[in-house]
Each structure stands twice: as C-alpha cells, then as structure tokens.
Structure 1
C-alpha cells in the first residue's frame, strides 16, 4: 500500500514566535544534574519490554505514572463509538478492559508496585486483540500476594486563579488478594473544583464605534464522588474472567452575574442567575469471560450496561433598564444508557494465520425534556416555545466482523478484515422519525519490521463516527444568547482514512514516530440552517490532510544527564464547502464540542489546525528531586453559524511547571503550577447583516476572558504514596 500526500505547510509569524518561545522556555529552564541513567529496557521479538525497574527513577505511584513515561508512546482513551467497535490502545494482562471508562482513569487504579512490566507492542501482534491499532501497551500486573504494597493514595489541594477558594482531591486504590487465582481492585475518589471566571465584552459596530460593554462573572462549584471495583479471576487454567463496576454521583452548581451598559456607560441590563445540577450520576457494570477451547481456538464474551442522569435547573432574574423585570427558568432532564453484548471466536489456524470472527449487539437511548418559561414583572408565567425540546432517541444496532492476521514473513504482517453494521434509530417526542442504516467497513494494515530499530506501517480503513444523541434535541445558552435546534435527520459522519507511519527506536529511551494521514470525509458534522435557525446537521463531503510527530530523547548528549525531552504534535488541514457562503473553509470547531487542553499535558487536536505538547523532565537522584515543564499550545479556532462567526484566539501557550521530591519514601510530594502565564483568551463574535452569505458585517462582540476553562492559573500541592 502506498500513501501519497501532497501538502503545503503554512506557518504565520505569530505561530513561529509561539513555537520558538516554547523551545526557548524549556531550554532556559534546563540545568545540569549528576547521576548515571537508569538501565535500558531490553528488546525482544520486535517488541520493546520495559521492566518495572525502568520506571523506578520516576517513583511512580500507579500504572498511569508508568505508562506516561514509555518513550514515544501516547495513551489513547479510544474514539467515541457505539459499543466496543473502536477501542483505545491499552491492554491489561493482554486483554482489553471491559469498560468504556477512560484508559488513563483505569490505570490510576493499579498500584505501580503490582506492575511487573510494560510491553510496547506492534499492532500486528497476532496473539492479542489489536483491533486496528498500530501501537499498544500491555500492562502486565502481578498478583498482590507476590508483590505486596497493594494500596495507593493521593491527597491534593488546588487553588484556581480568581476563585479565592481551595479545592481538593482525595483518591485511594487497594488491590485485595481474594485467592491465588482472584484479585479485587477497589478505588474511591472525591474530586472538588471551585473556580471563578471573569469575562469582559466590548460591543462595537462594523466601523469600530463602541455601542456598549458587558461583564460576566461565573462561579462554579463542582463536587463529586466515584467508587469502582475491578475483579480479575482465573477460575481454571482455561478461563479468564474480568468484571468491573463504577458509580459516580456529582453535586454541581453555577452562579452567574452579567451586567451590560450602553456606549455612554448608562446601565442597560443586569442578570443574576443560578444553575443547579441535581440527580447527576453515571454508572457502569461490565464483564468479560474468555475460554481457551484447545486446538488454537478461544472464545470471548463481553457485556456492558451503563446509565447516566442529569437534571439541570436554571433561574435567571433579569432587570432591563429602566423598568422591565423578567424571571426566566429553564428545566432540562436527561437520561441515557447503553447495553452491549459482544462475542468473539479466535482461531490460530497455523503460525501464519490467526482468524477472528464475531458479532456485537447494542441498544442505546437518550431521553431529554426541556421546558422554558418567562415571567414579566410578576405577571403570569408564560411557556416559551422551542422546537424539538422533548426527544427520546433509541438505537438498536447489530454488527458482524471477521479479521485475518497474516504473518507473511518475520518482517511483514498484514491485518485485514471486514465488518458489516446495521442499525435502526427511532425518535419520539416533538419529532417522530425512524430510520435504518447499513454500513460496510473494510480495513487493512500492513506492518513491515525494517530492522531492530525501525518499523513502517500503512493502513486504510472505512470509519463510521458515533452520532451524538444530544444533537437530536435543541439546546439554549441563554447567557450567551445562542440556541441550536435539534435535528432528527442527522446521519453519521463517514470517512476513508489512509495513514503511513514510520517508527524508529534508536535507543531504549530514544524514539521517533512520523506519520502522514489523509481522510476523505462524507457527511461532515457541522451546523446547518433549518427554518431560519442554527441546527446540528451534515454539510457534505470534506477532506483532512495532516502530519503527526512523536519523539522522546534523553539529553545527556548536551550535558543534561537524567533529563529527557518529549514532543507530540499534529498539523492538519481540513476543507469543506460552507453551506451558507458556498466557499471552501476549514471544519468548524465549536467550543462546546471541541474542548481544550487543560490539566495534564495531553494532546487534544479534534478539528483544530494544529496542536502540540512539549515536555521536559529532569531527575536529581542525589537530592531525591525531580522537576519539569510542559508547553502546550493549539491553533486558534472558528465556529461558523448562520449569521455569525465565533473566533477564539490566545496570545501565548500554556506553560506548566512542577517540582517533586521522594525524600520521604514511599511518599511523593509534588508542587505544581499549571498555566503559569495565564494568557487571556479573546473571543470575537462577528455578526453579519441577514446572514454570512451577504458578507456584510453588522456588529462585533469582542470578549477578553480571564479565567474559564482555558485561562485559569492553577496552583496545587499533592502527596501520593503506597503501603
């Protein structure tokens, strides 16, 4: 397979300055240290094996700390897909977790002392459930009785800029040996987040004349709890059973104050609101059973049941000067769930071929009700009409699949397969609709081991995205005066995805991966116009071309022993025809669906043009001290609506710093500052006269946001340990 990609990389001066600043910051912070580097990891059978001793210099508390230090590897939680059709790149004792909980979260529940080794595997490994992944990690966990130290704990305090309050995090995990063949893992967490945001808008005409100003203060309080249990059991030498259960309730609320004045400073309006989120929880119960049948045959059954619930009540008291007073209420309830059963039969026909056959059935639902009322000046309560405010969406789906892993030679492996999916989606409530879908999804991956230090992979897959059932019903953001109508005509986004990837491991701690990818996307998910309103929808065919690079290297060669530098970055160009203007543009990147890099330094690209994470870490064993810095940056983004374009810009990257000590073993004490530079984000809403098709700007709202999800500086102290 040959992947031909032609691209033109465009870098603005601003981007160049930001990237250069990132490198200079880390270079300036680095300093010398003295000690011998840890022992290298052995390599066998084209797979890199990292024993537990490899991670000892990092003093890991749990398996998540260890996987984060595997050179040239990035943990992926898996794409949003129905059922288990798409999985992340994590195995635990050679098995995929029977859970849709994020892989990074699952790893935090495994004490580091119970991990014997971590294997970095090629996606062409015939003995494992590779499911289309080019690279995986297998965390090999020993029985607690053999290792001891089965409990880990973590206590943390966090202060968010502007909040004047301190939040906390408490977590404890315990591995309990029930018998020589059974182990139970228990985990409890109590996160608390207390924040505050401050945003200020300038309201101007197209010619730049200021017509008013607005200030928005938000004060969220998010309190949660989470309990989970995981069972690993070998009832016989031929059977393996895994089960997990998780329940996570939350108690959240948000206080909002927004004031607006005219261009002369006279009061125009005042809003005081509160949002309470009650009856909020998520729960999950999953299990899998695998049996070795003999003769190269094995069978596996996976089941999962999950439920979620959210009740949201908004009350806004609005004074429109000089005399009008309005009370607005918004009540929204959401119930959702998923039921999955998946069966698989694996047959190792001979050393060259391993076949997999199976099927999956699933039932998903989401039930939403949304009621809005207005009460003017103490008068009667009037219900506000809203299209598609009540909706129940159900999906029944079935899939069959077959895969062959063909070891053509010791250097070349082919994985190819086909799955066929059929589903029926029914919507009731304000809109009545029933539709059926059928998708044929072929895939092929070729892996060529070029030598002990090099691997080349090429893949071509047909991908079908998951429909977001929330987009079948309408949403209203009253504070920001934005509404999006639900659309029962939504169809899944589909794509042919081609990827060519080269990986080299020049040394045990030095790795480089470079990839090029090209996607042809059908039914691009975006916003459309329905009856003069913005609505969720599909806007036709688009394309995505890009480059990805991951690298890790020690820095002893420049005089920095026990120091390492990691880079993970993606650049891409997306293109689709705008349904309003008829012109070519990038894919829309709505803030509410895209999110942003925050907290731990992980890459979150989505449809943004580029994003990267650059991390430096240095250990000073003689002082029992480590420190480091991360620079995270991502492209500005645009959201295209019917009569406006919303643009988000940030002047500086996100800079995180930490210092930790292991002087009191086995305790690790860590002091950190995330988003040290705390650059304000600028949001510009450009409103057009009539619609964007006319190209005539009517007015602008230019917001400088201090705080919020991307602008807060977070300072914290955390102690973690094990016993």
Structure 2
C-alpha cells in the first residue's frame, strides 16, 4: 500500500509538471523556430562565456553530471564528450570544461545515450563539445581570479585559475592549467540536550575553523601523429595543505561547565596524482581501435590532537593518527566497427587494480600517566581489488526515427583484505542494458532504457573510523558487497524553440543489497540490508521570459521527487533509505542539484541580460527535503527550513574582462539536526535522550560575498 501511494503521488507530480510546463513552453516559443540539438558558438554569445563550462551551463534543458562512483572506467563517467570522445581522465567533467577557452568551441551537440556509444553508459542525454584544434594554437590564456569572504570566518580567501594553450607543431597542441583555491571557513553548532521526556538537561557549543589550500596543476597533450593515429595524454598533480582547529564546550542548565574538548587537525603528505592517456588508430572509416591507460595515487596523513577536560578536575590528551594510501590502475581496449549498414558495433575489455591501505592509532594519556592505546576492530586494513571486464554493444538505426541500443558487460573481480581482518572474496556480475530512442517529431523525442547497475565499493568503509566530537564510531566491514540495481527509465524531451525545452522522466529501480548502516556485534558499520525499491520523477527545462516583458531573460529549472523503500534490519518495518551527507555545492561555488536518495530536491536559475549596459543579473534558488540516517541505537534527522538563495551581477563593460559580483546563501539557511538515542536499540522504541543541533557556518550555512574577474588574453 505504501508503494502504491508513492506511485500515485509521483503520478500527480508528473501530471502537474505537464500541466504547468506546457503552457509556459507555448508562451515562450519563438515563431517558426525549429527544435535545436546543435548549438553554434554564437548561440552562447549573450552569456559572455569565458570557458566551455560557461557554455555547457546554458544548454537548454541539459544538466551536466560529474559522474557517479561506479565500477569501471566508462561506467563512472559523466555525460560529457569532447570531439566525440570521452576524456581519458577521471577528472570531473566540470573541471575539464573550465580548461577549454570559449573561443575554441565550434558548437555544442546534445545527443541521446544511444548516439554516444558504450563509452558513456547509463546517461539519457550527453553533451558533445566540438573543439577546433587550430583555435587552440593561438596561445590564448584564460585567467580567473577573485576574492571571497565567508561568514563567521573573519578572513578573506581567494581563488585563481589560469589556462593556456600552445601549438607545439601543426599536429600537436598542449594545454596547461593551474588553480590555487583557498577556502577559509568556519562552522558553528549550538545544541540543546534533552531527556527522553523532553526536559532540558544541558547545552553544547561547537566550532570548527578550517584552512583549506591546494595547488592543482594539469596538462593535456593532443598529438595527431598521422592521419590515422591520435594520441592524448593527461597529467595532474594536486598538493593539498589543509588544517583546522575545533572546540566543544558543554554546560549544565545552570550554566556550570561540564567539560570541554579543544584540539587541532593536521593533514600532511597530502596529495593526489593522475596520469592518463589514450591512442586511437583508425584502420578504415568504419574500423578503429582505442587503447586507454590510467594511473592515479592519493596520499594523506591525518593527525588529531585533543585536550579533553571533564569537570571538576579530569584531564586527558587524546591523539588519533591515521595514514591513507590509495590508488587505481586501469587498462582498456575498445574496438568500434561500423561495417554493417545502420549498425555501430563496439566491443573490448578492461582490467583494473585498486587498493587502499589505512592505519589508525588512538592513544590517550592523563597528566603524568603513561600513554594508553585504544583497541579498535579493523583499525589497520589493506584492501585490494583485481577486476576484469569484457563488453560488447550494438547501436542500430532501425529507422530514421528509431535507434535501438543493446549491450552487455561481464565483470569478474577478486577483493582481498589484509591487516586486522584477513579475507578474500570473488564476484561475478552480468550487466545487460537496452535502450530505445524514438524521434516522434522534430520537437519531441522519447527514450527508454533498462540496465543492470553495479555500484562502486568505498574501500574506506572496510576499515574503522572514530568521530570524537560526535562521540561515535563506524566499524570497518570486510563483508561489504556492491549494491546492484535493475534500473528502468522513460523520458520525454520536447523543444519548442532554440531556447525552450522541457524534459520529463519517470524511473523505477529494483535495488539488491541496499547500501546502508548495519549492526556488527553492537557497533555501527556500513553494510547491506537486503532488497529495496526506488521510484520517482525528474523534470528539467528552460523557458525564455519574453511573454513576461523580459525579452533577454530566461528561467532554468530542475527537480526530483522520489520514494525509496527498504525493510529496516533493526525494527523490521518499512522505511526509506538512509541518506548520507550529500552536499549541494560550496559556499563560494555554484549551487548544484544533488538529489541522491532524498525524497525531493529542486533548483531554479534566473538570468536577465541587460545588453544596453553590457551586463546581466540573476538568482539561483535550491532546496531539498530532510534526510534521515538510521543506526543501531540512534536516528539522525536533518532538515533545512529555508532554501539557499544566490544572487549575482556581472558585466563586460570593462574590456576585455568579465567582472562578476555575487552573494551566496543570502538567507543563511542553517541545517537543523535531531539526534535520538534509544534504550537498547531502535526496536525498543524507548527514547533515552535527544540532541537538537542548529548548524551555522560550514559548507551549507554560510553567507558568502565575493567577486571574480575572468577573461581571455
């Protein structure tokens, strides 16, 4: 009955989108305009783009996805192609686009998943950025620099990025990029402590002052070695200098101090590296071979030192030292063959090796006393995975209006864990997929897809972690298995004009081995809690606002409504999936829609160009539902009462730069958390106590002011 009710609510939501959306689209339609799936560079001129990222952000009815954590090189990609190829790098698409100057973009094509081939799987829409290599040979430099003030921090941070392209020869181009972001934020939490009978027992105050600095250097080489051979090489190195101070004070209702914790965190030997490349050889116009290789490494040493005072006279120094080394190695070969009329065949194989090596040492020492180590299960762990994957797919143009795509992957892997736990496991997964794209008219397209998806395991969850400030621990679980799902999706896309688009999608997922929190010997751990379901509807679109008397204004929107259902392993009752922290952008960056497993989320973006003064202004509104996290004897509920509102004003009146002024999160939408503790476990239903927290500052609840100057020189 609950699932039927969810389906009815989703149906009402979908119908509402159609009723409300279609009249708006009709009003915004441009007389005689054809539906657009290819956008020339001139289409974006009114937005004053500096990089390809600025252009992709304005493609009507399209949202760029940075990719999900999935097994395999292709499956983890976002929905971006460059000159018809997926970049041979795991750098997120939004970062790659920032390195391409707008002047080098010839056009941007909006493709269906079937048009893009198996390199981009599980995506209904893909954007292909067509770049003219000769435009990169002029040695253009793109620079962006700015300052920002984040509320509560009492400091000014900065952001800097510079990209330049070089012509090494008529057939070789080199593009380099350097970024130096500096984020100086502060979080403030206020808590009320209550008994199970809602009687106030005390108060708690926490703050954290972060200093995050990094230097990101990257380079991309494109070499057209022969008319039949193309080589790409990507390099990236990111050293990071992060640190922070934290404190917590707890008092009784009378105001008497019960205790405090003060400390600092240092991150040393902190860096990431990546080397990736590909070589493509075209044997003929219908046959090509592409070889891809990728090597990445990550390192960080984290040291936490806390001085703990418990009234009236108990003192303790606690130190936590954690080291983490991780990496990935991928080799992939893929063949594209178009010899059969109307068919595009693709097949190949991929091999990968992933590892994560973690140590954790916790030591407590009273004044004048000896150091005492705290034993923790699965504190030291090395996890290795060796994986192989063979695949084949066929995209068939059955008729001028109908494209069918079918494919299958067979994956086999072995995961080995050593350290405090010794274990070896083997997995085999068959991952079929089918999709159909039907162009009903020049303005309307229908898409359907059905696939089996296998999630990527987070090796961090195989080892234990401790949070001193929240007095909680997560035990490592060597028995964790990947979450799998059968995913069905039906999508309708309509384009009434070049800048008017609406996409409505219905989806239903049957999920096996739902990833959630489980009980292991009285400790919370990440694990699998059985089978579940996810059903929902998505909507996105863009509407020019000429019918409201604003001929140069437009509205872009995207939204999600869904229901998840799984049986709780503690209570035996149906509930939604646990929702981990899923951030919606940064205080100084753009708001993004990240629905995850939340019940609903929306993002609305308004922009009004002012050509008479070579300027534009606008606003972004984003909000999402509350989220819940279920542990053995605790339940967390998080909610934001007001949406995030960002405002901006930009101008190109000062040539040759664009100046952007912004104020983000002007409503200061704080996050409220209710933490409920149960007697025994949640199955008892008996509440011992509550903690009510108001979170200010941090990445989600800080008002930010800043400016950014960008240009191409």
Q: TM-score range by the shorter chain?
A: over 0.9
Residue 231 of structure 2 corresponds to: 241
Instruction: Give the secondary structure class of the aligned counterpart of 1:709.
Output: coil
Residue 387 of structure 1 corresponds to: 377
Residue 32 of structure 1 corresponds to: none
Cα pair distance change 1:103/1:295, threshold 3 Å? closer
Instruction: Give the secondary structure class of the aligned counterpart of 1:162.
Output: coil
Do the aligned partners of 1:608 and 1:636 also contact (CA within 8 Å) in 2?
Answer: yes
Distance across 2 between alignment mates of 1:266 and 1:333: 38
Distance across 2 between alignment mates of 1:709 and 1:130: 31
Do the aligned partners of 2:6 and 2:563 also contact (CA within 8 Å) in 1?
Answer: no
In the TM superposition, residue 351 of structure 1 has moved relative to its aligned partner by: 2.7
- How many residues align structurally? 695
Do the aligned partners of 1:366 and 1:394 also contact (CA within 8 Å) in 2?
Answer: yes
Do the aligned partners of 1:547 and 1:571 also contact (CA within 8 Å) in 2?
Answer: yes
Do the aligned partners of 2:476 and 2:526 also contact (CA within 8 Å) in 1?
Answer: yes
Instruction: Give the secondary structure class of the aligned counterpart of 2:264.
Output: strand
Distance across 2 between alignment mates of 1:136 and 1:82: 20
Q: Pick from 585, 596, 601 the counterpart of residue 584 of structure 2.
A: 596
Distance across 1 between alignment mates of 2:492 and 2:408: 25
Cα pair distance change 1:52/1:85, threshold 3 Å? closer
Cα pair distance change 1:380/1:127, threshold 3 Å? closer
Alignment of 1:487-566 (within 5 A): 487-566=477-556
Instruction: Give the secondary structure class of the aligned counterpart of 2:69.
Output: coil
**Cα-to-partner distance string for 1:543-570 (whole Å, 9 max, x where unaligned):** 0000000110100012111000001111
Distance across 2 between alignment mates of 1:105 and 1:98: 14
Distance across 1 between alignment mates of 2:99 and 2:144: 11
Q: Pick from 23, 39, 43 the counterpart of residue 50 of structure 1.
A: 39
**Cα-to-partner distance string for 1:674-723 (whole Å, 9 max, x where unaligned):** 10000221111010111100001110000111112211111111100111
Do the aligned partners of 2:10 and 2:561 also contact (CA within 8 Å) in 1?
Answer: no
**Cα-to-partner distance string for 1:264-286 (whole Å, 9 max, x where unaligned):** 21110011110001111111000
Distance across 2 between alignment mates of 1:145 and 1:528: 55
Cα pair distance change 1:126/1:536, threshold 3 Å? closer
Residue 70 of structure 2 corresponds to: 81
In the TM superposition, residue 126 of structure 1 has moved relative to its aligned partner by: 6.7
Q: Pick from 294, 309, 313 the counterpart of residue 304 of structure 1.
A: 294
Do the aligned partners of 2:346 and 2:394 also contact (CA within 8 Å) in 1?
Answer: yes
Q: Pick from 662, 681, 694 the counterpart of residue 704 of structure 1.
A: 694
Q: Pick from 470, 475, 485 the counterpart of residue 485 of structure 1.
A: 475
Instruction: Give the secondary structure class of the aligned counterpart of 1:566.
Output: strand
Q: Pick from 34, 53, 67 the counterpart of residue 64 of structure 1.
A: 53
1:329 pairs with 2:319: yes
Residue 31 of structure 1 corresponds to: none
1:622 pairs with 2:634: no
Distance across 2 between alignment mates of 1:646 and 1:200: 16
Structure 1: runs of 5 or more not aligned? 28-36
In the TM superposition, residue 130 of structure 1 has moved relative to its aligned partner by: 4.4
Distance across 1 between alignment mates of 2:90 and 2:685: 45
In the TM superposition, residue 245 of structure 1 has moved relative to its aligned partner by: 0.3
Do the aligned partners of 1:144 and 1:150 also contact (CA within 8 Å) in 2?
Answer: no
**Cα-to-partner distance string for 1:360-397 (whole Å, 9 max, x where unaligned):** 00000000000001001231000000000000000000
Instruction: Give the secondary structure class of the aligned counterpart of 1:646.
Output: strand
1:714 pairs with 2:701: no
Do the aligned partners of 1:41 and 1:49 also contact (CA within 8 Å) in 2?
Answer: no
Residue 571 of structure 1 corresponds to: 561
Residue 628 of structure 2 corresponds to: 638
Alignment of 1:35-184 (within 5 A): 48-86=37-75, 87-125=77-115, 129-144=119-134, 148=138, 150-184=140-174
Instruction: Give the secondary structure class of the aligned counterpart of 1:350.
Output: coil
Distance across 2 between alignment mates of 1:650 and 1:394: 39
1:210 pairs with 2:222: no
Do the aligned partners of 1:310 and 1:334 also contact (CA within 8 Å) in 2?
Answer: yes
Alignment of 1:187-202 (within 5 A): 187-202=177-192
Do the aligned partners of 1:42 and 1:49 also contact (CA within 8 Å) in 2?
Answer: no
Q: TM-score, normalised by structure 1?
A: 0.93
Instruction: Give the secondary structure class of the aligned counterpart of 1:471.
Output: helix
Do the aligned partners of 2:139 and 2:167 also contact (CA within 8 Å) in 1?
Answer: no
In the TM superposition, residue 122 of structure 1 has moved relative to its aligned partner by: 2.1
Distance across 1 between alignment mates of 2:190 and 2:368: 31
Cα pair distance change 1:697/1:128, threshold 3 Å? closer
In the TM superposition, residue 233 of structure 1 has moved relative to its aligned partner by: 1.5
Cα pair distance change 1:720/1:535, threshold 3 Å? same
Distance across 2 between alignment mates of 1:432 and 1:330: 24
Structure 2: runs of 5 or more not aligned? none
Residue 305 of structure 2 corresponds to: 315
Instruction: Give the secondary structure class of the aligned counterpart of 2:358.
Output: strand
Alignment of 1:667-686 (within 5 A): 667-686=657-676
In the TM superposition, residue 124 of structure 1 has moved relative to its aligned partner by: 2.2
Distance across 1 between alignment mates of 2:101 and 2:701: 33
Root-mean-square deviation (CA, aligned residues, Å) is: 2.1
Distance across 2 between alignment mates of 1:651 and 1:146: 47
Do the aligned partners of 1:59 and 1:668 also contact (CA within 8 Å) in 2?
Answer: yes
